[in-house]
Amino acid sequence: MSNIPEEFNFTLSPCHVCGRKFRSDILNRHQEVCSKLAKKKRKVFDSEKMRISGTDIPVHYNPKNKNAQAYTKSEQKKKNWRVKHDELINAIRSARSYEISKATGAPLPPPPPPVIDPSFVQCDYCGRRFNEKAAERHIPFCKEKQMRLPSKPPQVLRIARPAMPTKKNEREVSSGYGQKSRIPGPESQPKGDYKVNLVSSPLFLC
Protein backbone atom coordinates (compact mmCIF):
# COMPACT_ATOMS: atom_id res chain seq x y z
CA MET A 1 0.00 0.00 0.00
CA SER A 2 2.89 2.39 0.67
CA ASN A 3 4.04 2.02 -2.96
CA ILE A 4 0.65 3.28 -4.32
CA PRO A 5 0.76 6.97 -5.22
CA GLU A 6 -1.59 9.31 -3.37
CA GLU A 7 -3.57 10.22 -6.51
CA PHE A 8 -4.68 6.57 -6.84
CA ASN A 9 -5.19 6.00 -3.15
CA PHE A 10 -8.98 6.57 -2.70
CA THR A 11 -12.01 4.65 -1.54
CA LEU A 12 -14.88 3.47 -3.82
CA SER A 13 -18.55 3.67 -2.84
CA PRO A 14 -21.27 1.52 -4.46
CA CYS A 15 -24.22 2.99 -6.44
CA HIS A 16 -27.57 2.26 -4.81
CA VAL A 17 -29.15 1.73 -8.28
CA CYS A 18 -26.77 -0.52 -10.21
CA GLY A 19 -24.37 -1.57 -7.45
CA ARG A 20 -21.21 -0.52 -9.24
CA LYS A 21 -18.51 1.31 -7.29
CA PHE A 22 -17.29 4.80 -8.01
CA ARG A 23 -15.26 7.52 -6.38
CA SER A 24 -17.12 9.81 -4.04
CA ASP A 25 -16.77 12.82 -6.38
CA ILE A 26 -18.22 10.85 -9.33
CA LEU A 27 -20.83 8.84 -7.44
CA ASN A 28 -23.38 11.68 -7.17
CA ARG A 29 -23.35 12.41 -10.91
CA HIS A 30 -23.57 8.73 -11.73
CA GLN A 31 -26.52 8.11 -9.44
CA GLU A 32 -28.55 10.90 -11.07
CA VAL A 33 -28.02 9.46 -14.56
CA CYS A 34 -28.38 5.87 -13.40
CA SER A 35 -31.71 6.51 -11.67
CA LYS A 36 -33.13 8.10 -14.85
CA LEU A 37 -31.98 5.21 -17.01
CA ALA A 38 -33.36 2.67 -14.57
CA LYS A 39 -36.88 4.02 -15.09
CA LYS A 40 -36.65 3.48 -18.87
CA LYS A 41 -36.84 0.05 -20.48
CA ARG A 42 -33.55 -0.74 -22.05
CA LYS A 43 -33.62 -2.22 -25.53
CA VAL A 44 -31.98 -5.56 -26.01
CA PHE A 45 -28.64 -5.03 -27.62
CA ASP A 46 -28.55 -6.81 -30.95
CA SER A 47 -24.91 -7.63 -31.52
CA GLU A 48 -25.71 -9.41 -34.78
CA LYS A 49 -27.30 -6.29 -36.23
CA MET A 50 -24.24 -4.29 -35.30
CA ARG A 51 -21.97 -6.80 -37.02
CA ILE A 52 -24.14 -6.88 -40.17
CA SER A 53 -24.34 -3.09 -40.48
CA GLY A 54 -21.85 -1.87 -43.08
CA THR A 55 -21.85 -5.14 -45.04
CA ASP A 56 -23.76 -6.43 -48.09
CA ILE A 57 -25.98 -8.63 -45.92
CA PRO A 58 -29.50 -7.13 -45.61
CA VAL A 59 -30.45 -5.92 -42.16
CA HIS A 60 -33.73 -7.85 -42.15
CA TYR A 61 -31.80 -11.11 -42.55
CA ASN A 62 -32.56 -13.31 -39.59
CA PRO A 63 -30.82 -16.68 -39.39
CA LYS A 64 -33.25 -17.73 -36.67
CA ASN A 65 -36.09 -17.64 -39.20
CA LYS A 66 -33.90 -19.59 -41.61
CA ASN A 67 -33.30 -22.23 -38.98
CA ALA A 68 -37.05 -22.38 -38.30
CA GLN A 69 -37.77 -22.83 -42.01
CA ALA A 70 -35.16 -25.56 -42.24
CA TYR A 71 -36.74 -27.25 -39.24
CA THR A 72 -40.22 -27.15 -40.80
CA LYS A 73 -38.82 -28.53 -44.08
CA SER A 74 -37.12 -31.37 -42.23
CA GLU A 75 -40.38 -32.13 -40.40
CA GLN A 76 -42.24 -32.10 -43.72
CA LYS A 77 -39.68 -34.49 -45.22
CA LYS A 78 -40.22 -36.83 -42.29
CA LYS A 79 -43.98 -36.73 -42.86
CA ASN A 80 -43.54 -37.36 -46.59
CA TRP A 81 -41.25 -40.28 -45.83
CA ARG A 82 -43.89 -41.74 -43.53
CA VAL A 83 -46.60 -41.41 -46.18
CA LYS A 84 -44.44 -43.10 -48.82
CA HIS A 85 -43.56 -45.85 -46.37
CA ASP A 86 -47.25 -46.53 -45.70
CA GLU A 87 -47.97 -46.58 -49.44
CA LEU A 88 -45.23 -49.17 -49.98
CA ILE A 89 -46.55 -51.40 -47.18
CA ASN A 90 -50.13 -51.23 -48.53
CA ALA A 91 -48.93 -52.05 -52.05
CA ILE A 92 -46.98 -55.08 -50.80
CA ARG A 93 -49.96 -56.32 -48.80
CA SER A 94 -52.38 -55.94 -51.72
CA ALA A 95 -49.97 -57.73 -54.08
CA ARG A 96 -49.54 -60.57 -51.60
CA SER A 97 -53.31 -60.98 -51.12
CA TYR A 98 -53.75 -60.94 -54.91
CA GLU A 99 -51.22 -63.74 -55.36
CA ILE A 100 -52.84 -65.83 -52.61
CA SER A 101 -56.36 -65.43 -54.03
CA LYS A 102 -55.08 -66.20 -57.54
CA ALA A 103 -53.38 -69.40 -56.36
CA THR A 104 -56.34 -70.62 -54.28
CA GLY A 105 -59.03 -69.60 -56.79
CA ALA A 106 -60.70 -67.22 -54.33
CA PRO A 107 -62.30 -63.99 -55.60
CA LEU A 108 -59.75 -61.29 -56.25
CA PRO A 109 -59.55 -58.49 -53.66
CA PRO A 110 -60.41 -54.95 -54.72
CA PRO A 111 -57.49 -52.70 -55.65
CA PRO A 112 -56.15 -50.48 -52.86
CA PRO A 113 -57.56 -46.94 -52.82
CA PRO A 114 -55.23 -44.20 -54.03
CA VAL A 115 -53.36 -42.43 -51.25
CA ILE A 116 -53.61 -38.63 -51.41
CA ASP A 117 -50.68 -36.68 -50.03
CA PRO A 118 -52.13 -34.06 -47.64
CA SER A 119 -49.23 -31.69 -48.33
CA PHE A 120 -50.26 -31.31 -51.99
CA VAL A 121 -52.51 -28.45 -53.11
CA GLN A 122 -55.46 -29.26 -55.38
CA CYS A 123 -56.17 -27.05 -58.38
CA ASP A 124 -59.76 -25.75 -58.42
CA TYR A 125 -59.88 -25.72 -62.24
CA CYS A 126 -58.45 -29.09 -63.34
CA GLY A 127 -58.58 -31.06 -60.08
CA ARG A 128 -54.94 -32.14 -60.16
CA ARG A 129 -52.64 -31.89 -57.15
CA PHE A 130 -49.23 -30.23 -56.90
CA ASN A 131 -46.74 -29.26 -54.24
CA GLU A 132 -46.75 -25.68 -53.00
CA LYS A 133 -44.19 -24.26 -55.44
CA ALA A 134 -45.68 -26.03 -58.46
CA ALA A 135 -49.20 -25.00 -57.42
CA GLU A 136 -48.15 -21.33 -57.28
CA ARG A 137 -47.06 -21.57 -60.92
CA HIS A 138 -49.83 -23.85 -62.19
CA ILE A 139 -53.04 -22.40 -60.69
CA PRO A 140 -52.79 -18.91 -62.30
CA PHE A 141 -51.88 -20.49 -65.65
CA CYS A 142 -54.76 -22.99 -65.44
CA LYS A 143 -57.19 -20.22 -64.46
CA GLU A 144 -56.17 -18.09 -67.45
CA LYS A 145 -56.42 -21.11 -69.73
CA GLN A 146 -59.95 -21.92 -68.55
CA MET A 147 -61.03 -18.30 -69.09
CA ARG A 148 -59.68 -18.32 -72.67
CA LEU A 149 -61.48 -21.52 -73.65
CA PRO A 150 -64.99 -20.94 -75.10
CA SER A 151 -67.90 -22.41 -73.23
CA LYS A 152 -68.99 -25.70 -74.80
CA PRO A 153 -72.60 -25.82 -76.09
CA PRO A 154 -74.88 -28.42 -74.53
CA GLN A 155 -74.79 -31.75 -76.32
CA VAL A 156 -77.95 -32.59 -78.30
CA LEU A 157 -78.95 -36.21 -78.70
CA ARG A 158 -79.45 -36.90 -82.38
CA ILE A 159 -81.75 -39.77 -83.46
CA ALA A 160 -81.17 -41.29 -86.88
CA ARG A 161 -84.13 -41.08 -89.22
CA PRO A 162 -85.49 -44.33 -90.68
CA ALA A 163 -84.59 -45.04 -94.28
CA MET A 164 -87.15 -43.88 -96.84
CA PRO A 165 -88.79 -46.72 -98.81
CA THR A 166 -87.76 -46.97 -102.43
CA LYS A 167 -90.30 -46.53 -105.22
CA LYS A 168 -91.40 -49.69 -106.93
CA ASN A 169 -93.44 -50.12 -110.04
CA GLU A 170 -95.37 -52.98 -108.51
CA ARG A 171 -96.85 -53.38 -105.04
CA GLU A 172 -96.53 -56.66 -103.24
CA VAL A 173 -99.64 -57.76 -101.41
CA SER A 174 -99.60 -60.96 -99.38
CA SER A 175 -102.54 -63.25 -100.00
CA GLY A 176 -104.38 -65.38 -97.43
CA TYR A 177 -102.50 -68.54 -98.49
CA GLY A 178 -99.14 -67.02 -97.79
CA GLN A 179 -98.47 -66.38 -101.46
CA LYS A 180 -97.68 -62.98 -102.84
CA SER A 181 -99.64 -61.59 -105.75
CA ARG A 182 -98.48 -58.66 -107.76
CA ILE A 183 -100.98 -55.90 -108.51
CA PRO A 184 -99.84 -53.12 -110.79
CA GLY A 185 -99.51 -49.83 -109.03
CA PRO A 186 -100.68 -46.46 -110.22
CA GLU A 187 -97.33 -45.69 -111.78
CA SER A 188 -97.63 -48.69 -114.13
CA GLN A 189 -101.02 -47.58 -115.51
CA PRO A 190 -100.89 -46.03 -118.99
CA LYS A 191 -101.28 -42.33 -119.15
CA GLY A 192 -104.11 -40.64 -121.02
CA ASP A 193 -107.75 -41.64 -121.58
CA TYR A 194 -108.48 -45.36 -121.75
CA LYS A 195 -111.57 -47.61 -121.52
CA VAL A 196 -112.09 -50.82 -119.57
CA ASN A 197 -114.40 -53.54 -120.91
CA LEU A 198 -116.24 -54.63 -117.79
CA VAL A 199 -117.83 -57.62 -119.51
CA SER A 200 -114.60 -59.06 -120.82
CA SER A 201 -112.63 -58.24 -117.69
CA PRO A 202 -111.57 -61.40 -115.80
CA LEU A 203 -112.42 -59.77 -112.46
CA PHE A 204 -116.14 -59.94 -113.19
CA LEU A 205 -116.20 -63.43 -114.63
CA CYS A 206 -117.36 -65.94 -112.01
Helix, strand or coil for residue 173?
strand
- pLDDT at 1 exceeding the cut of 70: no
Q: Domain check: are 101 and 125 in the same one?
A: no
The stretch 172-191 carries a mean pLDDT of 51
Domain boundary residue, one of 125, 148, 171: 148
> How many domains does the chain fold into?
3
Predicted confidence at residue 126, as pLDDT, reads: 92
Distance of alpha carbon 126 from alpha carbon 136, whole angstroms: 14
**Phi and psi at residue 14, to the nearest 5°:** -80, 150
Predicted confidence at residue 23, as pLDDT, reads: 85
Q: What's the whole-model pTM score?
A: 0.29
Distance of alpha carbon 67 from alpha carbon 87, whole angstroms: 30
Q: Domain check: are 64 and 98 in the same one?
A: yes
Q: Domain check: are 75 and 91 in the same one?
A: yes
Residue 74 falls within a domain, yes or no? yes
What does R_g of the chain's alpha carbons equal in angstroms?
Answer: 52
Residue 86 falls within a domain, yes or no? yes
Residue 75 falls within a domain, yes or no? yes
DSSP string, 108-169: PPPPPPPPPPTTSEE-TTT--EE-HHHHHHHHHHHHHHHHHSPPPPPP----PPPPPPPP-S
The stretch 94-109 carries a mean pLDDT of 87
Of 14-18, 39-43, 94-98, 167-171, minimum mean pLDDT range: 167-171
Residue 102 falls within a domain, yes or no? yes
Q: Domain check: are 11 and 35 in the same one?
A: yes
Q: Render the burial of 145-171: b for 16+ CB within 10 Å, e for the rest.
A: eeeeeeeeeeeeeeeeeeeeeeeeeee
Residue 155 falls within a domain, yes or no? no
- pLDDT at 130 exceeding the cut of 80: yes
Q: Domain check: are 87 and 132 in the same one?
A: no
Note down the domain range covering 22: 6-42
